[in-house]
Structure 1
């Protein structure tokens, strides 16, 4: 196979597992993340175990112009890109008015703006293929407002809504769009978000990144609109849709209270 998958946030966690599983399927990889060390180690693993190509670009996608630079890198390489995985993102835990505003805006730039920009710039490359896929990684938090994760949950709701709308726009074309909405996953998200106090609780419900990636890729290749891995996470998403919103907010606030 000569096709390439472009994966952001590829150095660790779900992104790393998505890369490994796509390599196992025979896809060459374009790996993007901040940590060059993580990318180089992943590329070496891929080359050794799966005999596919893995090209790396160290970039902070929250920086101005970064998404365009990634797309230009792909164009310069001149390789056939048939999969885009928008996985880069993170959360911040705490009340909105008590967290640093600049840090929160940086999170929104990565979770929303970078995803939108990279999708926009990459769609022309994807449309050159006979069939292509976009996998946007959201969160089960997209299904409800989450006090103390207010902007994070809102950003993931944006990703879900955007993915479904883009999917509809592209349904007569070559590009299928899927949104992956995982729940708690053993990725280090809690530590990055400053949620050390909830780490023990999260570990009781964590799925492995490998399992989340497997479910996500299966849904992507089956051209599903969205997928929530894990039975309890699916129950949570359904409940959030049908229960009184104030009740859902009280429940989530009690789970994630600062």
Structure 2
């Protein structure tokens, strides 16, 4: 059953394109007001205007780099100054790097961890009390199929997604009686700007899905009578995730390395 989000407010990070923009459109279509966060102000403003016109919701754009010092505090200030109470949070912002760790830019690695892990945890902690008190919303943390095995040549990215999966599954258990619906979304290769930032399309594994397909997977899980604490988008991706969990690491890691070495 499609759940009604009318009268609720959702934060969506990484909202200027890809999965974030699609989550924003889906939630707005269900009546949710939005706080849209990403670095690109022009895209955020255009999306906010689009959603307000199409669905009659309030959409507040906030141009912000969530990896920057004080970013989460800036989000909470933005929300409080507008008298908003947050019912839902979609932590979608994140990026990856490709190549050997020894040759990677150290500052960029730190930025990746701050965004993929630090900002996600801090935003979740900042708004979790009011989300559980409301019991009307959702918490979606976007991980990846990279969460199911070590990822040579994208070692830091893969490890951040392992963290996101473990963290979200634990939070889902802690909040299981609150009414808040919590899931970890684990997509595979998706037609977004992700691989443009990575710097190579060759880092992808498997066939592309569209943002619409991936978000629809998450929404079906959230609409279910019992929301799973994690969901993998795509049948082949789901099968690969199961295999990665049951096969010996001594086999999985070299196989993954060959796929990622391009």
Structure 1 CA distance, aligned partners of 2:14 and 2:50? 17
Q: In structure 2, what is the equivalent of residue 241 of structure 1?
A: 245
Q: Which runs of 5+ in 1 are unaligned?
A: none
Q: In structure 1, what is the equivalent of residue 29 of structure 2?
A: 24
Within the candidate set 225, 231, 234, 2:229 is matched to 225
| Kept in 1: contact 2:11–2:89 (CA 8 A) | yes
Q: In structure 1, what is the equivalent of residue 153 of structure 2?
A: 148
TM-score between both structures, scaled by the size of structure 2: 0.93
Structure 1 CA distance, aligned partners of 2:135 and 2:121? 23
Structure 2 CA distance, aligned partners of 1:130 and 1:17? 23
CA RMSD, Structure 1 to Structure 2 (Å):
1.4
Structure 1 position 11 matched with structure 2 position 11: no
| Kept in 2: contact 1:68–1:118 (CA 8 A) | no
Structure 1 position 49 matched with structure 2 position 54: yes
Q: How many angstroms does 1:173 deviate by?
A: 2.2
Q: In structure 2, what is the equivalent of residue 98 of structure 1?
A: 103
Structure 2 CA distance, aligned partners of 1:118 and 1:87? 11
Q: How many angstroms does 1:174 deviate by?
A: 3.5
**Cα deviations by residue, 1:50-91 (Å, 9 ceiling, x for unpaired):** 221111111000011101211222122222321100000000
1:57-68 matches, cutoff 5 A = 57-68=62-73
1:117-156 matches, cutoff 5 A = 117-156=122-161
Within the candidate set 85, 108, 111, 1:80 is matched to 85
TM-score between both structures, scaled by the size of structure 1: 0.94
Q: How many angstroms does 1:47 deviate by?
A: 1.7
Q: In structure 1, what is the equivalent of residue 254 of structure 2?
A: 250
| Kept in 2: contact 1:135–1:220 (CA 8 A) | no
User: 3-state DSSP class of the match of 1:61?
Assistant: coil
Structure 1 CA distance, aligned partners of 2:24 and 2:106? 33
Q: In structure 2, what is the equivalent of residue 182 of structure 1?
A: 187
| Kept in 1: contact 2:8–2:137 (CA 8 A) | no
Q: How many angstroms does 1:188 deviate by?
A: 1.7
Moved more, 70-79 or 150-159: 70-79
Aligned residues: 255
The 4+ residue runs of structure 1 with deviation greater than 2 A are: 172-176, 220-223
Q: Which runs of 5+ in 2 are unaligned?
A: 1-5
